[in-house]
Amino acid sequence: MFEIKNEDTLFRLSFIERIEEPEEPQEDVIMCWLEINGCSISLQCQCELIPYDLVSLKKIMTDFYQSLSANKRPEPVSFSPRMSTFTCGFNVIGGSDAVGFSFTASPQIYESWKLTGGIIIDQSYLPALINGIESILTN
Protein backbone atom coordinates (compact mmCIF):
# COMPACT_ATOMS: atom_id res chain seq x y z
CA MET A 1 0.00 0.00 0.00
CA PHE A 2 1.14 3.52 -0.85
CA GLU A 3 -0.22 5.85 1.82
CA ILE A 4 0.43 9.47 2.69
CA LYS A 5 -1.40 10.88 5.67
CA ASN A 6 -0.87 14.29 7.19
CA GLU A 7 -3.26 15.73 9.76
CA ASP A 8 -6.68 15.48 8.08
CA THR A 9 -5.49 14.67 4.55
CA LEU A 10 -5.09 11.17 3.12
CA PHE A 11 -3.84 9.82 -0.22
CA ARG A 12 -3.90 6.01 -0.37
CA LEU A 13 -3.34 3.59 -3.24
CA SER A 14 -4.13 -0.04 -2.33
CA PHE A 15 -3.73 -3.25 -4.30
CA ILE A 16 -6.96 -5.00 -5.36
CA GLU A 17 -5.94 -7.65 -7.89
CA ARG A 18 -3.53 -8.49 -10.66
CA ILE A 19 -4.94 -9.64 -13.99
CA GLU A 20 -2.11 -11.59 -15.57
CA GLU A 21 -1.18 -11.66 -19.24
CA PRO A 22 0.69 -15.00 -19.44
CA GLU A 23 2.33 -14.19 -22.77
CA GLU A 24 3.19 -10.55 -21.94
CA PRO A 25 3.78 -10.15 -18.16
CA GLN A 26 4.73 -6.49 -18.62
CA GLU A 27 1.14 -5.94 -19.75
CA ASP A 28 -0.43 -7.39 -16.59
CA VAL A 29 -3.17 -5.11 -15.30
CA ILE A 30 -2.81 -4.15 -11.65
CA MET A 31 -6.12 -2.95 -10.26
CA CYS A 32 -5.81 -0.56 -7.31
CA TRP A 33 -8.17 1.36 -5.09
CA LEU A 34 -7.47 5.09 -4.80
CA GLU A 35 -8.71 6.98 -1.74
CA ILE A 36 -8.28 10.70 -1.20
CA ASN A 37 -9.76 12.47 1.82
CA GLY A 38 -9.33 16.01 3.06
CA CYS A 39 -11.12 19.30 3.62
CA SER A 40 -14.47 17.47 3.85
CA ILE A 41 -13.92 15.99 0.37
CA SER A 42 -13.73 12.26 -0.17
CA LEU A 43 -12.87 10.54 -3.43
CA GLN A 44 -12.68 6.78 -3.90
CA CYS A 45 -12.25 5.01 -7.20
CA GLN A 46 -10.64 2.07 -8.89
CA CYS A 47 -7.62 2.68 -11.09
CA GLU A 48 -5.76 0.52 -13.56
CA LEU A 49 -1.97 0.38 -13.64
CA ILE A 50 0.56 -1.78 -15.46
CA PRO A 51 3.94 -2.91 -14.09
CA TYR A 52 5.71 -0.23 -16.16
CA ASP A 53 3.69 2.47 -14.37
CA LEU A 54 4.72 1.25 -10.94
CA VAL A 55 8.36 0.64 -11.93
CA SER A 56 8.49 4.20 -13.30
CA LEU A 57 6.98 5.70 -10.14
CA LYS A 58 9.36 3.70 -7.95
CA LYS A 59 12.38 4.86 -9.99
CA ILE A 60 11.27 8.50 -9.93
CA MET A 61 10.83 8.36 -6.16
CA THR A 62 14.07 6.43 -5.55
CA ASP A 63 16.13 8.88 -7.62
CA PHE A 64 14.46 11.83 -5.88
CA TYR A 65 15.16 10.37 -2.43
CA GLN A 66 18.77 9.44 -3.26
CA SER A 67 19.40 12.99 -4.38
CA LEU A 68 17.96 14.31 -1.11
CA SER A 69 20.06 11.82 0.88
CA ALA A 70 23.19 13.12 -0.87
CA ASN A 71 22.29 16.65 0.32
CA LYS A 72 21.41 17.74 -3.19
CA ARG A 73 18.33 19.65 -4.18
CA PRO A 74 16.51 17.53 -6.78
CA GLU A 75 14.37 19.08 -9.45
CA PRO A 76 10.61 18.58 -9.05
CA VAL A 77 9.44 15.26 -10.48
CA SER A 78 6.06 14.15 -11.76
CA PHE A 79 4.36 10.86 -12.57
CA SER A 80 1.48 10.12 -14.91
CA PRO A 81 0.42 6.51 -15.48
CA ARG A 82 -0.83 5.15 -18.80
CA MET A 83 -4.45 5.43 -17.59
CA SER A 84 -4.31 8.75 -15.79
CA THR A 85 -6.93 8.32 -13.10
CA PHE A 86 -4.37 10.13 -10.97
CA THR A 87 -1.08 11.95 -11.42
CA CYS A 88 1.37 12.99 -8.74
CA GLY A 89 4.60 14.81 -8.15
CA PHE A 90 7.25 15.57 -5.56
CA ASN A 91 9.19 18.75 -4.94
CA VAL A 92 11.56 20.00 -2.25
CA ILE A 93 10.30 22.73 0.02
CA GLY A 94 13.26 25.09 0.49
CA GLY A 95 15.05 25.42 3.80
CA SER A 96 13.60 22.30 5.42
CA ASP A 97 13.42 18.52 5.31
CA ALA A 98 9.91 18.83 3.91
CA VAL A 99 8.77 17.49 0.57
CA GLY A 100 5.65 18.58 -1.24
CA PHE A 101 3.48 15.81 -2.68
CA SER A 102 0.98 17.13 -5.22
CA PHE A 103 -1.70 15.14 -6.98
CA THR A 104 -4.65 15.27 -9.32
CA ALA A 105 -7.35 12.64 -9.55
CA SER A 106 -10.09 12.23 -12.10
CA PRO A 107 -12.33 9.18 -11.82
CA GLN A 108 -12.97 7.85 -15.30
CA ILE A 109 -16.73 8.04 -14.93
CA TYR A 110 -16.42 11.81 -14.44
CA GLU A 111 -13.87 12.68 -17.11
CA SER A 112 -14.54 16.41 -16.89
CA TRP A 113 -14.16 16.44 -13.10
CA LYS A 114 -10.75 16.73 -11.42
CA LEU A 115 -9.58 16.91 -7.81
CA THR A 116 -6.26 18.66 -7.20
CA GLY A 117 -4.42 18.79 -3.90
CA GLY A 118 -1.19 18.43 -2.02
CA ILE A 119 0.34 17.22 1.20
CA ILE A 120 3.57 18.26 2.90
CA ILE A 121 5.59 15.34 4.26
CA ASP A 122 9.00 14.85 5.85
CA GLN A 123 11.59 13.40 3.47
CA SER A 124 12.09 10.48 5.89
CA TYR A 125 8.64 9.28 4.74
CA LEU A 126 9.94 8.46 1.23
CA PRO A 127 11.53 5.02 1.89
CA ALA A 128 8.21 3.68 3.23
CA LEU A 129 6.42 5.07 0.17
CA ILE A 130 8.94 3.40 -2.14
CA ASN A 131 8.39 0.12 -0.27
CA GLY A 132 4.64 0.61 -0.65
CA ILE A 133 4.99 0.87 -4.42
CA GLU A 134 7.15 -2.28 -4.40
CA SER A 135 4.50 -4.17 -2.40
CA ILE A 136 1.82 -3.26 -4.96
CA LEU A 137 4.14 -4.23 -7.81
CA THR A 138 5.02 -7.64 -6.38
CA ASN A 139 1.56 -8.58 -5.15
Model's pTM, two decimal places? 0.89
Higher confidence at residue 100 or residue 113?
100
Collect all residues with Cβ–Cβ distance below 8 Å to 7 and sequence separation of at least 6: none
**What CATH number should be reported for the domain whose range is 2-138?**
2.30.31
Cα–Cα separations (whole angstroms), residue 135 to 67, 79, 126, 127, 138 = 23, 18, 14, 12, 5
| Predicted confidence (pLDDT) per residue in 2-45, tens digit | 999 988 899 999 999 999 998 888 889 999 999 999 888 899 99
Give the residue from 29, 3, 33, 35 showing the smallest Cα distance to 16: 33
pLDDT band at 90 (very low <50, low <70, confident <90, very high): very high
Domain ranges of the chain: 2-138
